[in-house]
Each structure stands twice: as structure tokens, then as C-alpha cells.
Amino acid sequence: MNGVHDMGGMDGFGKVEPELNEPMFHADWEARVMAMVRAMGAAGAFNIDASRYYRETLLPATYLASSYYKKWFLGLENLLVDKGYVAEADIAAGHAVQPAKALKRGSFALSDVERIMVRGKFDREATAPARFKAGDRVRARNMHPATHTRLPRYVRGHVGVIERDHGCHVFPDTAAMDRGENPQWLYTVVFAGTELWGADSDPTLKVSIDAFEPYLEPA
Amino acid sequence: MSAYVCAMTSQHHDHDHDHSDLSETELRVRALETILTEKGYVEPGALDAIIQAYETKIGPHNGARVVARAWSDPAFKQALITDGSKAIATLGHVSRTGDHLVVVENTPTRHNMVVCTLCSCYPWELLGLPPVWYKAAPYRSRAVKDPRGVLADFGVSLPKDTEIRVWDSTAETRFLVLPIRPTGTEGFSEEQLAELVTRDSMIGTGFPRTPGAPS
């Protein structure tokens, strides 16, 4: 979706402001939100792509005005309600008043913690040969799905070069929407700064994205 | 002061909007945790264990050990650049690293910088959870268009003919920058080298410390 989360190339957000000796969390509730998202995802309530999609579908004004973990919380609440794990009535009451719904992988236990401290595996068996190889010129498609995608707007329509083939990976565009893993070839594609930003671009700049095959066409 | 009291009193103090908003969030977060626990979705204590694991197991010390080994051992460095996840798995003293880790090497002619314009993708096993600036709009919007301007915000400048390669983390691949080993470190042990490796030098928004410089 062409949401406000797709920020690459936007102007006007001001300077980057690093915080000296920044703590891991700025409030206890932030840590609780992070842990709830990780636990419910690991228990099978949603996949990582759906959790991203639910943050992207927050109203743009809310997205921009909310802290990082506030966005995580709002996305989590919406996601759990939409998937039927939590009812609006539970939230209104502040505790469980509706029955629980079975989780795909059962409830999240203490013994699951070690497992989630490693990122998941997303490569899958190929179901078709790769269409592109390193060195091929490709154009990022001029596509604007209204649902989740990982093709940023700033590269759409632009020509780059395939640098690396990562094999087949879970396709976020379908996984986020509960339409299956639908594995697709994944490539690092490199764009010249001048191709993306025009003649005024820093001439020393190159930008790469990791692009799934359906995002690309020969150029 | 409890969050509840805070939220109630703040209704009478409209000037303190941020504070009341935070308190309302805190109440909502607590309520959701109560609901998840009451429904049996999360075993009591499991959330505390997740938080404790994040606070103790992951962090830039892991990435620093990887970089220090690469600076010390050319064969390891080559293996790391070929397949980051596989090479790191051979280092027993580093937190387990997920798949699809790509290590990108800085050279005198090329500087690498990592961003996630769409959200906050980051090699957290090696660097810890990302800092607020990495997840916020100024960095995400500008890193791909004006990386030298972003570097200036960090007080970093590069020669004008150095190529800048920005890696936008748009899939489940993760990127770790291998910075250039500082001069004056001949004969340093891996432990001494690891002390010089900063988090930002592994994102590409900073350089390692030089020996003798204040940390």
C-alpha cells in the first residue's frame, strides 16, 4: 500500500537525532509490548508480514504522531481483534470476558523463549527456475498494490542491476494477507543515485533493495 | 505514582498532554497483557523471560566480536563475506544468528550504510534492538536520498569521491557493515579490537574508535 510508512526519499522530517547512552526501552510498557508481539507471533496468531501490515494500516496521522512501540501496540491490538483472538468486549472490560481461540502453535510458554531469540528462516524450496541472474538489468515494476508490499515507491519504474540472488523466500505480499507463503526468488538490485533522484543526486550514491521476482521486469 | 492515578489527575492538567497520553497507553498495554494471560495465550513469566533475554543476550558486543575476528583472521573474513550466517555460527561465543545475514565490507573507496525505509529491519542478534533514530522518519526518509547529509548529522564525513552504498533492508535479509580496521592496532588481540567497534560503525553511520581516543 502507498502508505506513510514508505518513507524513502521523503523530505521535511528534519535532522537525525541520536540519543547518547540510549536505553533499550524508554518505559516499561514498551518492553511489555515488544514481548507480547514476539510471543503472540511465535504462538501462531500472525506472521511477521501481517504484523508489519497492521502497523502500516494505522491512520497516517496516528502513524506519524506515535512512538515506535505505540505503533506496535496499536497494530497488535487491531491484529488480535481482527484475527479473533481478542474481542472488543475484552478490551472494553480490561480483562477476558469472551472465550479464547485456539492458537496455531499453542500458548506461548517459557520454554519457547530461547527459540525466538533467533530470527526465523524465510528461504524455501524453489518451485520454478530463477528468471534473472547477477548482472541482468531490470526495471522495478510500476505497481501500486493497495495491500502489503515490500517494494518501496522510490524505486518503482526505475532501472537497476541484479547483484545477488538470495534464493526463494516467503513472499510478504501474500503472506501478510493470509494468502500463503507463495515463495518467490529474491534478488539484491542496485540503483544509481542519479537513476532514482535525477541529475542533482550525489553522483557517488548507489542504493540497493532486496526485491522479489514479481516486483521486477527485464529492462 | 501509579499509571491509573496519573491518567486521572492529568485530565485536570491539559497542558501535560504527552504525559497523560503515555499513561493512557500504559493502562491499555496492561489491560491487553491481562487479557492475553487470562485467555491462556501466554504463560505467566514468559513475557518477563523474553524481556530479560533481550536485555542480556543480544547487543552490539556480539557484532563487535564478529568484526574483531574478521580483522584478525583473513580466512574468517572471507567466509563471513561469502555467507555471514554460516561463518558466525562457527564462533561459539557469539549469540546465535539468524539466516540470511549479509556482511558488507567498507574499503577506502566504498562506504556502506544500512537502513530500513519501510519499517525497522535490523540484525538485532548482533546489534541489539535498534535505536530510536534508526526507526524514526528522519533517518528512514533521508538515508537513501542524502546519505552524506545523514552522516553529517552524526558528525561523520567521507571523502567526496568515496562511493556510498546504501542497503535498504526490504526483505528478511539483514546487513552488517564490516568497518575498516583502525590504524595503530597492529598486534592488538581480538578482545582489544572488539573494544574499538561501535554499534554505529556496524550500521555505517560511524567509524570504529581509534586507539587512545576517548570512548
Segment A58-110, tens digit of pLDDT: 999 999 999 999 999 999 999 999 999 999 999 999 999 999 999 999 999 99
Residue ranges, comma separated, of all CATH 1.10.472.20 domains in chain A are 28-116
Q: Is the pLDDT of residue B1 over 80?
A: no
**Pick from A11, A113, A166: CB nearest B53:** A113
- Selected residues 172-211 of chain B with any CB under 8 Å from a CB in chain A: 172-174, 200
**Pair A172, A51: CB distance under 8 Å:** no
* Whether A188 and B162 lie within 8 Å, measured CB to CB: no
Residue B94 has a pLDDT of 73
Residue B2 has a pLDDT of 36
Could you report how far apart the first and last alpha carbons of chain A are, in Å?
24
Q: What is the CATH number of domain B59-203?
A: 3.90.330.10
In chain B, domain spans: 3-55, 59-203
Q: Each residue of B81-103: pLDDT tens digit?
A: 999 999 999 987 777 788 899 99
Q: What is the ipTM of this complex?
A: 0.98
**Chain A environment of B163 (Cβ under 8 Å):** 204-206
Task: Determine which of A208-217, B6-15, B59-68, B200-209 has the lowest per-residue pLDDT on average.
Answer: B6-15
Q: How many CB atoms lie within 10 A of CB A109?
A: 15
Residue B23 has a pLDDT of 87
**Pick from A36, A55, A202: CB nearest B148:** A202
Q: How many residues does chain B have?
A: 215
Query: pLDDT class for B215, splitting at 50, 70, 90?
Result: low
**Chain B environment of A26 (Cβ under 8 Å):** 132
* Whether B99 and A154 lie within 8 Å, measured CB to CB: no
Residue B17 has a pLDDT of 46
**Pick from A43, A55, A122: CB nearest B100:** A122
Give me the amino acid identity at B64.
A
Q: Name every residue whose Cβ is closer than 8 Å to that of residue B64 and which is 6 or more positions away in sequence.
A: B194, B195, B197, B202
**Pair B176, B101: CB distance under 8 Å:** yes
Radius of gyration, alpha carbons of chain A:
20
Residue ranges, comma separated, of all CATH 2.30.30.50 domains in chain A are 123-218
- B80–chain A nearest CA distance, Å: 16
Give me the amino acid identity at A88.
E
Q: Which of B19, B25, B107 has the highest number of chain A CBs within 10 A, making it the mutation to test binding with A?
A: B25
SS3 state at A183: coil
Residue of chain A with shortest Cα separation from B136: A68
- Selected residues 60-119 of chain B with any CB under 8 Å from a CB in chain A: 95-100, 102, 115, 117-119
User: Is B119 a residue of the active site?
Assistant: yes
- B48–chain A nearest CA distance, Å: 8
- Average pLDDT for residues A132-154, to the nearest whole number? 98
**Chain A environment of B153 (Cβ under 8 Å):** 15-18
Is the domain A28-116 a CATH 3.30.420.40 member? no
**Chain A environment of B34 (Cβ under 8 Å):** 94-96
Q: What is the CATH number of domain A123-218?
A: 2.30.30.50
Catalytic residue among B10, B23, B121, B169: B121
SS3 state at B178: strand
User: Is B116 a residue of the active site?
Assistant: yes
Q: Name every residue whose Cβ is closer than 8 Å to that of residue A93 and which is 6 or more positions away in sequence.
A: none
- B41–chain A nearest CA distance, Å: 4
DSSP A119: P
**Chain B environment of A27 (Cβ under 8 Å):** 22, 26
Query: pLDDT class for B22, splitting at 50, 70, 90?
Result: low
Q: Is the pLDDT of residue B212 over 90?
A: no
* Whether B97 and A204 lie within 8 Å, measured CB to CB: no
**Of residues B100 and B9, more confidently modeled:** B100
* Whether B133 and A94 lie within 8 Å, measured CB to CB: no
- Selected residues 1-40 of chain B with any CB under 8 Å from a CB in chain A: 22, 25-26, 28-36, 38-40
Residue of chain A with shortest Cα separation from B54: A117
User: Is B6 a residue of the active site?
Assistant: no
Q: Is the pLDDT of residue B14 over 80?
A: no
Catalytic residue among B119, B141, B157, B189: B119
* Whether B39 and A169 lie within 8 Å, measured CB to CB: no
- Average pLDDT for residues A20-31, to the nearest whole number? 95
* Helix H or strand E segment including A189: strand A184-192
Q: Is B157 exposed, middle or buried (0-12, 13-18, 19+ CB in 10 A)?
A: exposed
* Helix orientation angle between A68-82 and A28-42, rounded to the nearest 10 degrees: 40
- Average pLDDT for residues A40-49, to the nearest whole number? 97
Query: pLDDT class for A29, splitting at 50, 70, 90?
Result: very high
